[in-house]
Amino acid sequence: MTSSADFPPIDFESFHSDTLPSWLRQGRGRLAASGASHLSALAFRLVEGPAFTYRPCPGGVEIAAGDDAAATVIEIALDAWQGLVHELEAAAGLVYAGRIRCVRGAAVDLMAWESTLRTLYNGRPPYDPARVELRDRDGRLLDPAATFTADADRDDLVHFLRTAGYLFVRDVFHPEEVAGFLAEAEELRREARQGDKLSWWGKTVAGEEVLCRVTRGTAKPRLATLPAAPRVLALAALADEPVVYKKGEGKGVTVIFKRPDVHQGLGDLPWHRDCGMGGHAVMCPTLLISVYLRDATPETGELVMLPGSHRCAFNAHDATDPTPYAAHFAARPGDVSLHYGDTVHAAPRPTAPDREHYRISAVVSFAPARAHHHLGHASYNDVLHQREDGQIEHLEAVAKRL
């Protein structure tokens, strides 16, 4: 059971003068070297307090008192900085909430440092896709794009999910069931209103306001059955530790609508982790289960996974492009995918702008019974809802205002 006692206060000065330098000497400096080599120097300055600079150097990272040599200086409250160390906070969540101030340089540099900070603070190795070597139960190389059926050997399913960080299962729901879910998704689409904080909106190149997702699927009788559906619960039981349904953002069960031409807003998501807004230490292992109601392909908008990334540190601002190493799946209606919240994945825009239909999927969240927002809020995504038009702004746009 995770409690506040698991996250003791940290003295900012002694951490940077003694604790972190000791970790660097013990190997975290070398571990962080590849991810940090392209970064410019970053400093944390406490509000009305001291500052320390993180600077890439040959073989790793060095820490220096003060911020005169830093290209970017981030002013931050002590509790927010402690949250970064404890993996309670995440850079994106702090930026969206306006809980940092960029004194010099660019606030987006904090995002560029996030993976390296996780390596330094928590010992997570940087994700190196060229070195990822996943093995099946018999020691053979794992096919990262393998798919399964619900009646496959349970130990194989558990092993694949644990090893790759995701799992793809065919034909879990029947066509008539999918038709019912899809009808309710269309009802949710018609009922959604901009600024209701239960939906995400975007804008096309032509200026049309379009719906990207709805977070109130439990308002509909068929979709509301998903969290307790025996087939869904059986898949959730494959997780490394017991998990229970958590409504997550909104009122539970999120329905995603892909559009091919979203120009503004988060209709398409770059490489990210679902605990990238914060809460990894108290929410994970979170397991996201997606039920596909329409085809998911590159043409209609797919979901792509980065194999084995749930045990490493990586984000969209890292120098390595993971796209060549991504696992792709051609999903059909009724198929289901599972992934851990810390598995890096992306939802690129559809490649065919003239299709009649695009991906629609319903997502259900599971997490340990102990999981909670460390600040007592309903969801880590609540901070995203800042505009009356319902549009979720890109992180870079928010960072520029800081």
Q: Are residues 292 and 314 in the same domain?
A: yes
Q: What CA–CA distance (Å, rounded) separates 212 from 82?
A: 34
Q: For the chain, what is the largest distance between any 2 Cα atoms, rounded to a whole number of angstroms?
A: 65
Q: How do beta strands 148-149 and 166-170 pair?
A: parallel
Q: Are 241 and 289 in a shared domain?
A: yes
**Same domain assignment for residues 86 and 178:** no
Q: Per-10-residue mean pLDDT for the chain, 402 residues long?
A: 69 98 97 94 96 96 97 98 98 97 96 97 92 90 96 97 98 98 98 97 94 98 98 98 96 96 93 96 98 98 96 91 93 98 96 94 98 96 95 91 87
Residues 285 and 340 in one domain: yes
60's enclosing H/E stretch is strand 60-65
What confidence score (pLDDT) does residue 319 get?
87
Q: What is the pLDDT of residue 5?
A: 54
- CATH number of the domain at 47, please: 3.30.1050.10
Predicted confidence at residue 129, as pLDDT, reads 80
Residues 396 and 284 in one domain: yes
Whether 271 and 356 map to the same domain: the answer is yes
Give the CA-trace dihedral at 137, 141, 145, 150, to 10 degrees.
Answer: -10
In this structure, the answer to whether residues 256 and 378 fall within a common structural domain is: yes
* pTM, two decimal places: 0.95
Domain end point (choices 122, 137, 164): 122
CA distances to 50, 189, 255 from 220, rounded to whole Å, are: 53, 12, 11
Domain final position from 63, 93, 122: 122
**148 and 114 assigned to the same domain:** no
Q: For residue 4, what pLDDT is reported? A: 44
Q: CA 29 to CA 160: how far, in whole Å?
A: 31
What is the count of structural domains for the chain? 2
Range of the domain at 86: 4-122
Domain co-membership, 260 together with 364: yes
Q: Please tell me whether residues 112 and 173 are part of one structural domain.
A: no
Per-residue pLDDT, 1: 40
Element of type H or E holding 23: helix 20-23
Domain boundary among 96, 122, 148: 122
Same domain, yes or no, for 339 and 368? Answer: yes
